[in-house]
Amino acid sequence: MPDPRYADALLVMARKDFDALRGMVGNDLFADEIFGFHAQQAIEKSLKAWLSLLDIEFPFTHDISRLLALLEDVGADGVTAYLHLVEFTMFAVQARYEAGLMDDEQVLDRPTVITQVQALLSAVESLETKD
């Protein structure tokens, strides 16, 4: 049976990570690795909320591709729109602990990332209200 309370709790936490992202735009005090970490967390928690709403068990993982694959396996609508978010898996732990993982010239386009994460978060929140 779908667990809307657990999904709601995950979405509350995803929204907190998303709010942190918004606070980091235009603020060089926060490294891209920290921004990317909060993006990854918001994405991961949103996907886990989506899975909870569909009553799909998921493993303890930070791997966004694994979570998306579970959604694809059950034929969840709209999953393909978020496949590009797999690139944020590296921010779960790696980018915060491994020096040199990110190319020095590679900079996250923070407004674009916020738009992408907002789209996923909003889509999952709208699924929650349909139940």
pLDDT digits (tens, 9 = 90+) for 28-79: 899 888 899 999 999 999 999 999 999 999 989 999 999 999 999 999 999 9
pLDDT classification of 131: cutoffs 50, 70, 90: low
Query: Which CATH number is associated with domain 4-130?
Result: 1.20.120.330
Q: What is the mean pLDDT of the chain?
A: 89
Question: Above 80 in pLDDT, residue 104?
Answer: no
Task: State residue 44's pLDDT score.
Answer: 97
Which residue ranges make up each domain of the chain?
Answer: 4-130
**Tokens representing 90?**
């590296």
**Tokens representing 35?**
């921004």
Q: Which long-range contacts (CB under 8 A, 24 or more apart) does 20-29 make?
A: 21/110, 21/113, 21/114, 21/117, 22/114, 24/110, 25/110, 25/111, 25/114, 26/110
Task: State residue 2's pLDDT score.
Answer: 67
The answer to whether 49 and 7 have CB atoms below 8 angstroms apart is: yes
